[in-house]
Structure 1
Amino acid sequence: MAAAYDPNNIFGKILRGEIPAHKIYEDDVALAFMDIMPRTEGHTLVIPKEGARTLVDVSPATLAELIKRVQHVAKGLQAAFQCDGLTLHQFNESAGGQVIYHLHFHLLPRWDGVSLRPPGTMGDNDKLAEQAEKIKAALTPFVG
């Protein structure tokens, strides 16, 4: 049996404004913000505002709208960083690699010949803020 969603996870706190984040995009469905432990330049997270622990817990209607926001932010990342590709990660439960139990998608800009950084290293706050502004400037208006 799957564990219940805990609204006091760190992403729930970010959604409520209790913890700051370098926000890139926000609407009534989703929030996109910089990962504080970036594995690449521009590493971004996209989360639903609906409290859902994993991919299988989120409502189908929210998931359908959420993936549109993931794509929208991905286009902004490509424009902002002129990357050669993107990696999309989504983990479910600890056995699947999930660490924060609020559904989230990782968008990682990628360049040929450049490996991902190892996980667990905090990013420079000023650099994250600069990257967030760069991505926001590259985003076109969202059309759902």
Structure 2
Amino acid sequence: MTDDCLFCRIVAGEIPATVVHETDDTLAFRDIDPKAPVHVLVISKAHHRDVATLAVADPALAGTVLAACAAVAEQEGLTGDGYRLIFNVGAHGGQEVFHVHGHVLGGRPLGRMLSV
């Protein structure tokens, strides 16, 4: 745990979150600023800066995080029409909280999100 990390503090129970799925190694909760009708963040309980560093440091945990994302999508009823799964890496990639997290988004057509 990192004391100044928002998501570590959520894992520790210091900051409330609307939890929708939890395993021994992951936690999934609703985003406080949703970009779609369903917008859930899936994090590892262990602190890793981003998905790239997690993949190198602990490939098994990276797979566990992906499995949790799939479980959330199923639980939220997104698998029939589809959903978007996003992992931002670094400031230029749009990462705002530097603790690995995947965004599970769906519930409506999402269209293109990137523009050049």
TM norm structure 1: 0.68
Is 1:41 the counterpart of 2:37 in the alignment?
A: yes
Q: CA deviation at 1:110?
A: 3.7
| Identity within the alignment, % | 32
- Equivalent residue number for residue 65 of structure 1: 64
| CA distance in 1 between partners of 2:63 and 2:81 (Å) | 26
Higher strand share: 2
Q: Which runs of 5+ in 1 are unaligned?
A: 117-144
| CA distance in 2 between partners of 1:97 and 1:7 (Å) | 22
- Equivalent residue number for residue 54 of structure 1: 50
Kindly name which structure, 1 or 2, has the bigger radius of gyration based on alpha carbons.
1
Q: CA deviation at 1:48?
A: 0.5
Task: State which drifts further: 60-69 or 5-14.
Answer: 5-14
- Equivalent residue number for residue 128 of structure 1: none
- Equivalent residue number for residue 75 of structure 1: 74
Amino acid at match of 2:14: E
Matches within 5 A, 1:101-112: 101-112=98-109
- Equivalent residue number for residue 127 of structure 1: none
| CA distance in 2 between partners of 1:110 and 1:83 (Å) | 10
Partner SS, residue 67 of structure 1: helix
Residue correspondences, number: 109
2:89 to 85, 92, 100: 92
| CA distance in 2 between partners of 1:76 and 1:60 (Å) | 24
Structure 1 segments of 4 or more deviating over 4 A? none
**Residue deviations 1:6-34 (CA, integer Å, cap 9, x gap):** 44211111000000000001111100000
- Equivalent residue number for residue 28 of structure 1: 24
Amino acid at match of 1:74: A
RMSD: 2.1
| CA distance in 2 between partners of 1:111 and 1:76 (Å) | 16
| CA distance in 1 between partners of 2:105 and 2:63 (Å) | 21
